[in-house]
Amino acid sequence: MSSKIDSRVPKDSGAKSLDCFAAIQSPWNKLVGYQESMHWLSRYNSTFSAACMQALRILEPEYAERAQDMCTAVYQKLYYTMQKFGKYQMDQHNIHPFCRGSFVGALVGDSGDDALMMCGRVQDFGTYRAEKELDICDWDIVGSELCRATTQSLEGGSKSWSENLRPGTQLEYHMVEARGCGDCHCRIVAESRDKYPMPPHAQWECFGPIATADQIKDTKPEDMVEESMVFRGETGYTFANGTNMEDDSNSVANLMRRSSAAAGYIFPTLSYLLRMQKVDEKTVDHVFHCVCEAAGKAAFGERVAIQAVRDWMGVPNTINDGRVMGGYLEMYFQAMGLEYTIEAFNKDEVQYVVDRNNLTVYNEKMADAFVAYWYGMTKTLVNAQWFLWEIKEDTPADKLRIRIAKKIDKFC
Amino acid sequence: MYKNIYRYDEMKRKEHMAVRENVGWYLWTHQLVEVQGADATECLDLLFTKPICSIKIGKERYTTMLNEKAEIIDDVVVFRLEENHYWVSTLFATDLIRWMEAHKENRAVEYSNITSQYHMYAVQGPKALNMVNSIVDTPVDDLKFFSFANNSIDEMPVMINRAGFTGEKCGYEIYVSAEKADEMEKILKAAGEKLGAEEVTEFQVMAWTLPTEAGFYYMRDLRHTNPLEVGLDKGIDWEKKFIGCEALNKIKEEGPSREMVGFTVEEADIYIQSRHYGGPGEAVYVNGEEVGRVYKLVYGYVKDTNIGYIMANKDALKVGDHIMIHGYEAVITEKNFL
């Protein structure tokens, strides 16, 4: 062990007393079980995404324009992603060769919802209409533009899937209700405009009334669920769809680590805006830095929040330095399944090297946003004497080296 | 109030009833796994519950495939094309091939997924024979049920199979080279127009309403069940060795703990969750105790009522019982709604 790293209780301490560690583990050996850690990860990524959405709102203030750009960017992203991986995914979802048209794409939304712990149920699944109702959505704090964009990612992916089948009916995906807008459920309904005509509308207006409102199957609050199928006994802890695709709870980590609102929708939109020269890079960097830093500071602005996270990680009362923030980062790295190296972990300094690409899911600018976010957290979770920053020198391009230490900066 | 997605939908009703009263046609391509080799028969006999060796060339057989616990992992139709040459029609080719790979051992057997080479069109209903005869070069009047024969349509080689997934006595399936699918559809459309046929376009009709009326299963209904629970034990060769036979014999001796029953709900606009969309299905209670789950709930256009299946504890529900499911009155029935 490096002399820079204080000795720790061994990770396998007590292992003979437990069957296994299906958990993330703090530096002080506090375990958080898989199910709970995935819930935590889901909301963590959602909160970070909410901050990123605020940055996007500053960069592109007009709602309709911003929503349209998000819809355009993610439609294209999913359409082309499915051109590459669609056949494999269709096989995973048991898409039958007699199916024709884009309704089959609803299946990937369904399995994705369950893996992202957005639990609910399919209410209709047919060639001309499909309906999915969600009871929980951790992305409900991000912003309604995201709700609109999710329908377009589904529509783009579904169109791409359908091109592997005999030609058939194309569906228009609409968000009818959204928990993020105060509704009881999220509800996406896909309709064939040939069978169920509606006046034409802009792509971003894929939200609101539909032609088949009278077919909506609404679940009453007392029948709503709080967990995905993979965490429910009544479903045998197994996700199953109507075409017999089955998956276990590993699906949650698999998707959660690849897909957050920020990674899947916001940063691709940012790339699109930069490509279209609707925003300039300097302004983007500045706005994201400011917003994410503020969001990070707000996370632990209250003493009760600090105490809660310390208890959650089992931080000894004697420790109040960069290790607290370091431990919190390690919980995130573990939940995200990121490889990381501890280069320092002592009362004076904490330093990690983490896999940049898996952290950001290859989204440029996302690493900077995380660093600003974590810098802000450090200021309130520890105190203002402590800083968190990236060390770029001698760090490989695919790695992110983060240092937490005290310093004085008169321009911070 | 939720409006029944089947009952008031004239398009679904028209497509469904065309098959029951006249004739309907539709793309019904399944996945095809070709199995060949000196030990092909022996290998398939090990995989499937019903005898494969006794299938005559030009005939086919519907059978289940089990895991070691006797749970159904696929239900398929096995076509015998030649002595050691079979097609297995499935909707889960990847699983099937994986299972074959795991159990073929040293047998001389080869298999490949040939799905992309063919499309299959179903022609189903009382006038199906008229429609098929109007397009084939050799009339198919003598083709018996679950038999197939080569034929041609406008000089396109085709295979005509007398079978279907609708419960219609008169039903055919036309296998055609995949690249001829556009041409085939034009021919079927033209032939259908002369007979007043409908093209069935709605997945829910071809996969759910028509088969359920006839008491058939779509694969989701069978997952994690065994043949004795779902009434697919008829024709099983209890003397031969097949994967899952020991477990299935034990269940047979002890009697299955569950059974699939039918049910109807008269009220039109109901909210009952069904397992066929995924999920657990609505719990069914008798005297406050859960006795089963709703596995299927669709619509029976022939009797104009909601129809479905419940997987219930053995003998917990009897035909004619009136029960409440999520606040709606249901009547337990046989599984055939025609």
Query: pLDDT tens, B259-301?
Result: 999 999 999 999 999 999 999 999 999 999 999 999 999 999 9
The count of CB pairs under 8 A between chains A and B is 95
Nearest to B49 by CA among B249, B216, B212, B217: B249
Is residue B246's pLDDT more than 60?
A: yes
CB contact under 8 A, A100 and B91: no
Distance CA A380, CA A360 (A): 24
- Phi first, then psi, for residue B286 (nearest 5°) are -130, 125
Going across the sheet that includes B171-177, the strands are B148-153, B156-162, B171-177, B118-124, B24-27, B198-199
- For chain B, where are the E strands, in sequence order? 24-27, 31-36, 60-66, 72-82, 85-90, 110-113, 118-124, 148-153, 156-162, 171-177, 198-199, 258-265, 283-286, 289-300, 305-313, 322-325, 328-333
Helix (H) or strand (E) holding B321: none
**What rounded mean pLDDT belongs to chain B?**
97
Residue B246, number of CB atoms within 10 A of its CB: 13
Helix (H, G, I), strand (E, B) or coil at A303: helix
- If phi > 0 it is left, if psi is from -120 to 50 it is alpha, else beta; for residue A301 that is alpha
Distance CA B235, CA B201 (A): 33
Across residues B215-225, what is the average pLDDT? 93
Distance CA A230, CA A250 (A): 9
Mutation target to probe the A interface, by most A beta carbons within 10 A, among B9, B91, B277, B282 is B277
What's the pLDDT score for residue A13? 63
ipTM of the complex: 0.96
Which two three-digit tokens encode residue A134? 């969600």
Asked if residue B34 lies in contact with residue B90, where contact means CB atoms within 8 angstroms, the answer is no
CA distances (Å), origin A268, targets A73, A77, A147, A166, B255:
6, 8, 15, 31, 58
Residue linked to tokens 């669709």: B298
Which two three-digit tokens encode residue A83? 């051109």
Asked if residue B86 lies in contact with residue B39, where contact means CB atoms within 8 angstroms, the answer is no
What's the pLDDT score for residue A252? 94
Amino acid (one-letter) located at A226: E
CB contact under 8 A, B2 and A216: yes
For helices A267-275 and A281-299, give the axis angle rounded to 10 degrees. Answer: 160
Mutation target to probe the A interface, by most A beta carbons within 10 A, among B1, B2, B4, B5 is B5
Closest chain A CA to residue B178: A166
Residue linked to tokens 């996270």: A309
Q: What is the pLDDT of residues A151-196, one digit of tens each?
A: 999 999 999 999 999 999 999 999 999 999 999 999 999 999 999 9
What's the pLDDT score for residue B245? 97
What's the pLDDT score for residue A341? 97
Nearest to B35 by CA among B113, B117, B110: B110
What's the pLDDT score for residue B288? 95
Q: Return the ∠ at Cα A65 (arms to A59 and A68), rounded to 5°.
A: 115
Distance CA A31, CA A21 (A): 8
Distance CA B134, CA B198 (A): 16
What's the pLDDT score for residue A364? 87
**Confidence tier at B1 by pLDDT (50, 70, 90):** low
Q: What single DSSP character describes residue B90?
A: E
CA distances (Å), origin B130, targets B22, B24, B317:
10, 12, 43
Mutation target to probe the B interface, by most B beta carbons within 10 A, among A244, A245, A246, A248 is A244
Q: How far is CA A116 from the centre of its chain?
A: 8
Asked if residue B332 lies in contact with residue B319, where contact means CB atoms within 8 angstroms, the answer is yes
Nearest to B229 by CA among B91, B71, B76, B75: B71
Residue A318, number of CB atoms within 10 A of its CB: 6
B305 exposure class (CB count in 10 Å sphere: 0-12, 13-18, 19+): middle
CB contact under 8 A, A243 and B115: no
| Regions in chain A scoring below 70 on pLDDT | 1-2, 9, 11-20
What's the pLDDT score for residue A7? 76
Residue linked to tokens 């209409």: A129
- If phi > 0 it is left, if psi is from -120 to 50 it is alpha, else beta; for residue A129 that is beta
CB contact under 8 A, A124 and B5: yes
Nearest to A374 by CA among A354, A357, A347: A354
Residue B172, CB half-sphere, CA atoms under 13 Å: how many?
29
Q: Which residues contact A340 (CB under 8 A, 6 or more apart)?
A: A330, A333, A352, A353, A354, A355
CB contact under 8 A, A235 and B279: yes
Helix (H, G, I), strand (E, B) or coil at B85: strand
Distance CA A411, CA B10 (A): 71
A110, A166, A236 member nearest B278 (Cβ): A110
Complete DSSP assignment for B104-135? -TT---EEEE-GGGEEEEEEESTTHHHHHHTT
User: CA quadruple B86, B89, B95, B99: dihedral positive or negative?
Assistant: negative
Asked if residue B41 lies in contact with residue B84, where contact means CB atoms within 8 angstroms, the answer is yes
End-to-end CA distance of chain B: 29
- The residues on B that touch A, with CB distances below 8 Å, are 2-3, 5, 11, 26-31, 91-92, 94, 115, 119-120, 181, 201-204, 206-207, 219-220, 223-224, 271, 273, 275-280, 283
Distance CA A13, CA A377 (A): 30
A100, A103, A215 member nearest B27 (Cβ): A100
Amino acid (one-letter) located at B212: T
| CB-CB neighbors (< 8 A) of A215 in chain B | 2-3, 5
Nearest to B204 by CA among A376, A239, A131, A61: A131
A98, A214, A239 member nearest B27 (Cβ): A98
What's the pLDDT score for residue B140? 98
Residue B55, number of CB atoms within 10 A of its CB: 19
What's the pLDDT score for residue A102? 98
The pairs formed by B270-275 with CB atoms below 8 angstroms and a separation of 24 or more are: B270/B2, B270/B4, B270/B306, B270/B326, B270/B328, B271/A217, B271/A218, B271/A219, B271/B2, B271/B326, B271/B328, B272/B297, B272/B325, B272/B326, B272/B328, B273/A121, B273/B326, B274/B308, B275/A240, B275/B220, B275/B221
CB contact under 8 A, B91 and A242: no
Nearest to B301 by CA among B261, B264, B275: B264
